[in-house]
A = this chain, B = another copy of it.
Amino acid sequence: MPNPTAAMLVIGDEILSGRTRDANMHYLAQEFTKHGVDLKEVRVVSDDRAAIVSALNALRTGFDVVVTSGGIGPTHDDITADCIAEAFGVHIGVRDDARALLQAHYDRQGVEFNASRQRMARIPDGATLIDNPVSIAPGFSMENVHVMAGVPSVFQAMVASVLPKITGGAPLLSQSLRIMRGEGEIAAPLGELAARYPDLSMGSYPFQRDGVFGANVVIRGSDGAQIDHAMAELAALFPQQ
């Protein structure tokens, strides 16, 4: 069977103005090459509805798989989900499962789940959610188009979630733990744990909140029971205050 062909659509004025240097194209190119998917074209367009919809339609009809990055955050210029709905001619609205994920996330953090943040639960009809173990707000897949965040750590986590679907490999499961310590304290015990579970991948995504350092540690693999074991060990290493 020939390799599937793929295209990428990068959405964002910040790339085209030079304010941000895109990192996701190079990451996706490497991951696709590693997994036997042929990336044939990349387009970068601005936060402009007509430009996004036209590029989407050209790419989704021209290639087996399309990955988009950017434009799914809470601000007014995050219009990717609406453009996907328009390109596919389907309705878009706040979806209960996506809203529940985000509501629980913001409740845990004691942050208001306001109208802006609820925008991130708007999902086109017929899409399936893409897991975001790093910052919760989900991506989604609509037929052959996979819609992901622009923030590199989140983009990378979403690529890991979707790759098995694209390549026909075993689906990847993930669990995450929020640890309120600096990465310097987490690194050594996490490294030892990872060495004892060679079939799992463990990633640490640091953050800072109100001057306190923490990290989301994500454990991924295809064996759910093994992930449960590793997660229990991780939780025992870093008891929550």
- Interface positions of A (Cβ within 8 A of B): 15-18, 21-22, 25-33, 39-46, 51
Contact = CB atoms under 8 A, between A and B. Distances in A.
Interface hub of A27, A42, A46 (most chain B Cβ within 10 A): A42
Contact of A42 (B21, B27, B44): B44
12 contacts: A15-B25, A15-B29, A15-B42, A16-B42, A17-B33, A17-B39, A18-B27, A18-B28, A18-B31, A21-B26, A42-B44, A43-B43
A16 B39 contact: yes
A26 B22 contact: yes
Nearest to A38: B16
A13 to B, nearest CB: 10
Given A18-B29, A33-B17, A43 B46 contact: no
Given A16-B29, A29-B17, A30-B18, A45 B41 contact: yes
A25 B231 CA distance: 41
B32 A18 contact: yes
A174 B48 CA distance: 39
A39 B45 CA distance: 9
Given A18-B26, A18-B29, A29-B18, A46 B40 contact: yes
Contacts of A29: 15-18
Contacts of A32: 18
Given A18-B28, A41-B46, A42-B42, 19 more contacts: A15-B29, A17-B33, A17-B39, A18-B26, A18-B29, A18-B30, A18-B31, A18-B32, A18-B33, A18-B39, A40-B45, A40-B46, A40-B51, A41-B44, A41-B51, A42-B43, A42-B44, A43-B43, A43-B44
A213 to B, nearest CB: 29
Contacts of A46: 40-41
A170 to B, nearest CB: 23
Interface hub of A15, A16, A21, A41 (most chain B Cβ within 10 A): A16
